[in-house]
């Protein structure tokens, strides 16, 4: 089981409501620094909770993985 912090949960919530977004779009909407968002995205990606489209660089919720 992966421990999610407040930022992780906010990112998952945002992606579940707004569809695929880039790192900078997520950072802007959550009013966080891109570096902070990147750390959370990396953890979520490594735990297969989100996916990333290499062409568009947009992150999205993995099917069946949202809370």
pLDDT of residue 62: 84
pLDDT, average across residues 53-67:
81
Please name which of 64, 36, 56 lies closest in space to residue 11, comparing C-alpha atoms: 36
Please return the burial class of 49, using the count of CB atoms within 10 Å of its CB with bins 0-12, 13-18 and 19+.
buried
| pTM (two decimals) | 0.89
Collapse the DSSP code of 5 into the 3-class scheme (helix H, G, I; strand E, B; otherwise coil) and give the result.
Answer: coil
pLDDT of residue 53: 95
> Domain 6-61: which CATH class?
mainly alpha
Q: What is the pLDDT of residues 31-48, one digit of tens each?
A: 999 999 999 999 999 999
Domain boundaries, the chain: 6-61
């Amino acid at each position: 089981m992966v421990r999610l912090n407040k930022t992780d949960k906010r990112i998952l919530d945002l992606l579940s409501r707004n569809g695929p977004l880039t790192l900078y779009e997520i950072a802007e909407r959550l009013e966080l620094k891109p570096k902070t968002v990147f750390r959370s995205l990396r953890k979520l990606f490594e735990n297969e909770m989100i996916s990333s489209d290499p062409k568009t660089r947009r992150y999205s919720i993995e099917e069946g993985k949202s809370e």
